[in-house]
Structure 1
Amino acid sequence: MTTAHQHVSGARPLTVLTHAALLTVRLLRALRRMPAFLVIGLVQPVIWLLLFGQLFRSVVDLPGFAHGDGGFLRFLTPGVVMMTALFSSAWAGTTYLEDIDRGVMDRMLTSPASRGAMVIATMAYQAIQTLIQSLVIVAIALVAGARFPGSVAGVGVTLLAAVLLTLTFSALSNAAALLTRRQATLIAISQFTTLPLMFLSSAVTDLGLAPGWVGVVADHNPMEWAVVAAREAMGPRADWNTVWAHLGLLAAAALVMGLLSTRAFRTYRKQA
């Protein structure tokens, strides 16, 4: 009895990961059939980089702009990467809503696939999209003339920060979808969270130019954690203590939101 129990307990994590991998492939197949969604998600970041990067390139000369070394494009790129990750992940719950409307969600919940595997799959799917989009954004910035002294390590930290931010808000979006089951509500929640989080961070401007209370709020903003980690790592004199501290905060937020998303299934089943 004990041996069998240990065998089942030891196999369970592997089973969860196997189910998660299969469900992730399912989502990636849908993306392969409709790659336009991935391309459309890059339109706004390209506009920010190429248009705003040129229009506001002199803003780094303003008194109080303390992070303008290397030009505005270098400053802006990490912010645009995180904005893209934030906006894309905020819509992650639409996948669950589609599955709910088609009856797929109820069938999966009665299948051997665990709730944890379903959460991992959707978060992994969003993370893969974020990685692709982030690499494209950095490549466009390089072509446009930006230079990042942090080199490969800086880009790697930027990708990691973007993925952690994506995991945090895709899990939150999934939980909102399960709890509300309404597209309009999910849209409202997405708009209510993403825009304030973006503007209450240093994504597009140095917080030295903002009122003091904005900086206080930004200290507790996951968007700011990601931007600071990426910008610090891509700069010429990275403070790695700051980088790892902010990545740690992002990882903790992703874990908490992942657990919340998993528990949201319980409420969904009770309401079914």
Structure 2
Amino acid sequence: MTTATTTTAEPRAEELAPVATDTLAALLVAGERPPRPSAWAASAAFGWRAVLKIKHVPEQLFDVTAFPIMMVLMYTYLFGGALAGSTGEYLQFLLPGILVMNVVMITMYTGVAVNTDIQKGVFDRFRTLPIWRPAPMVGYLLGDMLRYVLASIVMVTLGLIMGFRPAGGAVGVLAGVVLLVAFSFAFSWIWTMFGLMLRSEKSVMGVSMMVIFPLTFLSNIFVDPRTMPGWLQAFVNNSPVTHLSSGVRGLMAGDWPAAEIAWSLGWAGALVLVFGTATMRLYNRK
């Protein structure tokens, strides 16, 4: 006959020793609290996040590589002979305008990215961080500026191969691209607002296309507005896309159209003021 003996190990004294409140507080605040990131540092961090998303999903670059190439080739060789008599002459007029059109069109993906992160719940975490409140939004726009620059490089390179010869040289082309990217940064605030307002990314894309297509086609991107009816000229001549296209075209041609540049920058400032303010109000309340 065997007997089972149950032994219980006595707990060690250090496991039962109570921790004083002041000791615990001292441990928690022993190190210095890291400084709060500046507005620029926080925005740059979110901008880098947007760049990393492109790195991990390179298919996103289709809209800034293959699509611009297709648009330049199609419009040049389909309409060049009919509108200007030769594709070479039409390319000199078309390329700055089609560059504006493509970069303005891809700005809508900013709103799509915002809406996607909202659906995934990422924004709930962003709002709890001790950072400058607009930093996530500004970060999206900073990251997308890389897309705008890549699209510009692709289209200008293709244009040079096809025979585009900007009289303004490298300086004029660079100035035109800078003006375009600055305007696109401001224009993207429209889509951040829609990204916060609408329920799905498909809705954001649908609304964006309804706004972008009339603005780009009812402009001087493809033809001179003087060939249009008078009532349509009144709209086209005052369109922000027309001012932007004229400014970029003039800079690449070697001119410095001060009025068109001023109008483009003025529109950019107004867009940031109106839609940037609306975006942040929605972001704080949503």
What residue number does 1:252 align with?
269
Deviations 1:125-170 (A, max 9, x none): 1111101111110011001111000112221222123212321332
Partner of 2:167: 149
For the structure 1 residues 165 and 199, does the alpha-carbon distance in structure 2 shift closer, same or farther, using more than 3 Å as the test?
same
Residue of structure 1 in register with 2:235 after alignment: 217
For residues 183 and 117 of structure 1, what CA distance do their matches in structure 2 show? Answer: 21
Contact 2:116 2:201 in 1 (8 A): no
Structure 2 SS opposite 1:98? helix
Residue type of the alignment partner of 1:52: Y
Q: Distance in 2 between matches of 1:179 and 1:140?
A: 38
Q: Report how far residue 48 of structure 1 moved.
A: 2.2
Q: Which amino acid is the alignment partner of residue 173 of structure 1?
A: W
C-alpha separation in 2, matches of 1:73 and 1:250: 27
2:77 is equivalent to residue 54 of structure 1: yes
Counterparts in 2 of 1:255 and 1:127: CA distance versus 1, 3 Å: same
Contact kept in structure 1, 2:50 and 2:144, CA below 8 Å:
no
Q: How does 1:154-173 map onto structure 2 within 5 Å?
A: 154-173=172-191
Paired residue secondary structure (1:119): helix
Name the larger-Rg structure: 2
Shift of 1:39: 2.8
Match for residue 3 of structure 1?
Answer: none
Q: Structure 2 matches for 1:169-184, cutoff 5 A?
A: 169-184=187-202
2:225 to 170, 183, 207: 207
1:15 aligns with 2:38: yes
* Residue in structure 2 matched with residue 266 of structure 1 by the alignment: 284
Shift of 1:261: 2.1
Task: Identify the range of structure 1 (199-208 vs 175-184) with the bigger mean alpha-carbon deviation.
Answer: 175-184
Q: Tell me by how many angstroms 1:59 deviates.
A: 4.1
1:239 shift after superposition: 4.2
- Aligned-pair CA distance for 1:49: 1.4
SS in 2 for 1:169: helix
Q: Displacement of 1:60 after TM fit?
A: 4.7
Matched with 2:127 is 109
Q: How many residues align?
A: 251
| Contact kept? 1:179, 1:267, Cα under 8 Å | no
How far, CA to CA, are the matches of 1:207 and 1:103 in structure 2? 46
Tell me the distance in 2 between the aligned counterparts of 1:248 and 1:88: 19
Answer yes or no: is the 8 Å Cα contact 1:76–1:204 preserved in 2.
yes
CA contact (8 A) 1:91 1:190 kept: no
Matches within 5 A, 1:19-30: 19-30=42-53
Contact 1:225 1:250 in 2 (8 A): no
Structure 1 residue 254 displacement after superposition: 4.1
2:107 alignment partner, SS class: helix
| CA distance 1:239–1:17, shift in 2 (3 Å) | closer
- Structure 2: distance between partners of 1:252 and 1:213: 27
> In the alignment, does 2:68 pair up with 1:45?
yes
1:76 is aligned to 2:82: no
Gap runs ≥5 in structure 2: 1-34
Provide the aligned C-alpha RMSD in A.
2.3
> Structure 2 vs 1, CA of residues 102 and 23 (structure 1 numbering), >3 Å: closer, same or farther?
same
Equivalent position SS for 1:149: coil
Distance 1:112 1:231 in 2: 44
- Which deviates more, 256-265 or 194-203? 256-265
User: 1:91 aligns to what?
Assistant: 109
Aligned identity (percent) is 24
Conserved in 1, the CA contact under 8 Å of 2:190 and 2:271?
A: no
TM-score (norm 2): 0.80
**Contact in 2 for aligned 1:233/1:243 (Cα 8 Å):** no
Displacement after TM superposition at 1:253 (Å): 3.2
